[in-house]
Amino acid sequence: MSESTVDAEGLRARVRDLLAEHDPATTGRLEFLRARFDAGLAWVHYPAGLGGLNAPRELQGVVDAELAAAGAPDNNPRRIGIGLGMAAPTILRFGSEENKKRFLRPLWTGEEVWCQLFSEPGAGSDLAALATRAVRDGDDWVVTGQKVWTSSAHTARWAILVTRTDPDVPKHKGMTYFVCDMTAPGVEVRPLRQITGEAEFNEVFLTDVRIPDAHRLGEVGEGWQVAQTTLMNERVAIGGNAIPREGGMVGKVAATWREHPELRTPELRDRLLRLWAEAEAFRLAGTRLRQQLAVGQPGPEGSGMKLAFARLSQALSGLEVELLGEQGLRYDDWTLRRPELVDFTGREAGYRYLRAKGNSIEGGTSEILRNIIAERVLGLPSEPRVDKDVAWKDLPR
């Protein structure tokens, strides 16, 4: 990747040119987003021609601030978070030039929603034990299997998919990574109802689904290595978002505390102060992590952020329910709907409390993340793994 000579003032000039040619007040939203991508102002740190300018990552904030001040539309990042946070960096690193040109632009503009086909009924925390098979057939691969807990599968056009292509080697070595067309014959999406009453997640059945080899990311048998890029970016996307002081869940709990003085007790006050301090430390750690990301790829530090995010969300939502008493167990929108995104701060306390239970599962369970932190950050000995050198087909199930 070539170095860029674009600095902050150069980016501001490019933004001015974009706004002059595409006035947000008179330009359609999609047309503006496409023009922004083509101008290299989508991901400034991406290569030229792929939404970026090879500029330092930290300069993205300059572009975002200028466009926000001008009233320009954004790409609704919460709706397309899987594409932005997981699929895009994986495609950028492992995709062919054709894949990058085909997928990145509509991914960033939100024209095409993405989902993640990783977890399986028998391979959740142990992703490398997955059983979905992909068999080569000429220029295609024929895929059969089942995936579970798939967010956005009911709205997705594309999926990032990890499969088993060689059962005769140890489980980490026989995996291959693909881009899967969610509209292809043989793809069936079924809703999974959760404790909130909604069907935000899905199970996906793949029956003789044909995927062209051109949609393979990385080499055959190296899907585990490719998946690590996705997972590290996923954990940063979940736990490393930029938020203001008292933003997110802690802000909702603090507001409840201020609005209901009759519910206060010394014990609840002490818990709130401790959680507020932890939330602030978490926010500042996230700022530091994003600074590290500006100069390289995400590492195991993202696992720590995601682990802390899950624990804080559950503790804060539980405290809020206690503050509200019997009112905290209610929420108005108990419907069997199919939401496009999770809305933690725009819903009632009862919803937040129930939905936060999933935070310690999605994006890697808290137990697995503790192992990653112990081994890769703290340098502690790894747990014994008796299946490390055993062929996948010989593993007990």
Specify whether the CB–CB gap between 14 and 55 falls below 8 A. no
End-to-end distance of the chain based on CA atoms, in angstroms? 44
d(CA 193, CA 338): 9
List the catalytic residue out of 66, 112, 198, 234: 234
- Local structure of residue 84 (DSSP, 8 states): I
d(CA 150, CA 176): 19
d(CA 261, CA 357): 27
Specify whether the CB–CB gap between 167 and 230 falls below 8 A. no
395 Cβ contact list (under 8 Å, min separation 6): 129, 171, 387
Given the structure tokens 């950050």, which residue do they identify?
377
Tell me phi and psi for residue 142, to 5 degrees: -105, 120
User: What distances in angstroms separate CA 29 from CA 32, 65, 356, one per listed residue?
Assistant: 5, 18, 33
d(CA 269, CA 256): 12
Q: Is 164 helix (H, G, I), strand (E, B) or coil?
A: strand
Specify whether the CB–CB gap between 162 and 227 falls below 8 A. yes
d(CA 352, CA 231): 25
Q: 3 catalytic, yes or no?
A: no
| Other beta carbons less than 10 A from residue 21's beta carbon | 10
Q: Which residues are bridge partners to 188 per DSSP?
A: 205
Record the tokens describing residue 288, joined without a space. Answer: 């530091």
Record the tokens describing residue 83, joined without a space. Answer: 């594409």
d(CA 350, CA 332): 9
| Other beta carbons less than 10 A from residue 305's beta carbon | 24
- Report, as residue numbers or ranges, the catalytic residues: 234
